[in-house]
């Protein structure tokens, strides 16, 4: 009877496979690592997106800090400057000093703002 040659060692089969396809396997592994490093959850693209978001948020923080300082100055002025308080009372609340008369012109009869500012 003719006996079939049977491999008895699994390690030999793996060794032969690695010898034949080792470079291709290594190349695919390196390619997978590169793709993961570029497109993965913590890859290059995600890092750039995060840096852009950090930059945008920092600009918002700077803008809000500037607005906060300006509002703080306005609060300080409103607490301490009687002329500013009087100006607001006259313009927005239509208050008048004793002896003054306020004349209201209807909105439809007022000239446009550009013409009103020119002498």
pLDDT in tens, 22-65: 899 999 999 999 988 888 888 889 899 999 999 999 999 999 99
Question: How many angstroms separate the CA atoms of 51 and 45, rounded?
Answer: 10
Q: Is residue 70 part of a domain?
A: yes
- In sequence order, the 6+-apart residues with CB closer than 8 A to the CB of 90 are 96
The pLDDT, as a whole number, for residue 59 is 98
Where in the sequence is the domain holding 68, given as residue range(s)? 21-96
Q: Is residue 119 part of a domain?
A: no
For the chain, give the percent of residues with pLDDT over 70.
87
Q: Is residue 31 part of a domain?
A: yes
Q: Is residue 113 part of a domain?
A: no
Q: What's the Cα-to-Cα distance from 77 to each of 70, 72, 82, 84, 85, rounded to whole Å?
A: 11, 9, 9, 7, 9
Domains in the chain, number = 1
Q: Is residue 40 part of a domain?
A: yes
CB < 8 Å & 24+ apart, contacts of 24-27: none
Tokens of 100: 């003054």
pTM over 0.95: no
């Amino acid at each position: 009877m003719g006996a079939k040659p049977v491999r008895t060692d699994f390690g030999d089969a793996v060794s032969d496979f690695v010898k034949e396809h080792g470079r291709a396997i290594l190349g695919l592994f390196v390619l997978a690592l590169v793709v993961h490093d570029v497109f993965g959850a913590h890859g290059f693209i995600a890092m750039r997106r995060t840096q852009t978001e950090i930059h945008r948020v920092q600009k918002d923080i700077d803008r809000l800090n500037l607005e906060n300082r300006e509002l703080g100055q306005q609060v300080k002025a409103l607490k301490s400057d009687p002329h500013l308080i009087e100006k607001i009372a006259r313009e927005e609340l239509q208050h008048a000093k004793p002896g003054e008369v306020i004349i209201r012109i209807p909105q439809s009869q007022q000239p446009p703002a550009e013409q009103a500012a020119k002498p």
